[in-house]
Amino acid sequence: MALVTTSTAKPGARSRLSPEERRAQLLQLGVRMLATRSLDELSIDVFAEEAGVSRGLLYHYFGNKQDFHEAVVRYAADDLIAQTAPPVDGDPLERLSVSVTAYLTYVENNYEGYLSLVKGAMSGNETMRAIYEEARATLTDRIFREDAQGEIVDDTPLNRLLARGWAAMCEQLVLEWMKEPGAVSRTELLSVMAVSFPALVAALD
């Protein structure tokens, strides 16, 4: 992964990236590597070799291995939030369907990294847990967004609690499905995820 950009002024000339750009580029590579390996497998040595940089440079930007892992996981969580954003317009159920479809696609394409986020949250690491909780809260709070047209359900404390429980159920469904995706079709899984939350709320009315 190149850490410099090619200048158009002179053939072969290179311009330096700013520290912010270089750090972001390293994090992007870290997220891509997490798609096919666990966080534990993403060592400083492996990452430095893949990035074509020195260990010293990584320590300069991230401090230590734990800080590096936390930065990559936070970047991955932000990427998950961005990629699963539902459209603002349209029928509420359609927006929810778009969002859960994007969520499933993200997990399919970044399985090891997503699993690392989940395991990190359960490991006792407070920072990892906070990243995980912030990401989940963002995903579920979208259901009650004031700027969206229409609502799936009323914004009440009970419904927000149900939304968090529904999100946990969807996560478990997806992770279990990933172990044996042929047993249940993708369409069937998405249908269950999309209709289960409104059905759960309706059952309590």
Query: Following DSSP, what letter does each residue of 34-46 receive, concatenated?
Result: HTTS-TTT--HHH
Range of the structural domain that residue 115 is part of: 72-203
> CATH code at 170?
1.10.357.10
- Does residue 118 fall inside a structural domain? yes
pTM for the model stands at: 0.79
Quick check: is 67 in a domain?
Answer: no
Q: Considering its fold, how many domains does the chain have in total?
A: 1
pLDDT band at 187 (very low <50, low <70, confident <90, very high): very high
Token pair belonging to 121 = 């949250």
Residue 205 has pLDDT above 80, yes or no: no
Please determine, for residue 193, whether its predicted confidence score (pLDDT) is greater than 90: yes
State both tokens at 1: 């992964």
Q: 197, 205, 204, 201: which is closest to 93 by C-alpha?
A: 197
- Residue 99 belongs to a domain: yes
Q: Quick check: 61 and 26 in contact, CB under 8 A?
A: yes
pLDDT confidence tier of residue 150, bands split at 50, 70 and 90 = low
Q: Is residue 17 part of a domain?
A: no
Question: In this structure, is residue 53 part of a structural domain?
Answer: no
Q: What pLDDT sits at residue 15?
A: 53
25 domain residue, yes or no: no
For residues 65 and 67, give the distance between their C-alpha atoms in angstroms, rounded to a whole number: 6
Give 74-130 pLDDT, tens digit per residue.
Answer: 998 999 999 999 887 778 888 889 999 999 999 999 888 888 888 888 877 788 899
Which pairs with CB-CB distance under 8 Å and at least 24 residues apart come from 141-148? 142/85, 142/86, 142/99, 143/96, 143/197, 147/88, 148/86, 148/88, 148/92, 148/95
Instruction: Work out the average pLDDT over 22-33.
Output: 89
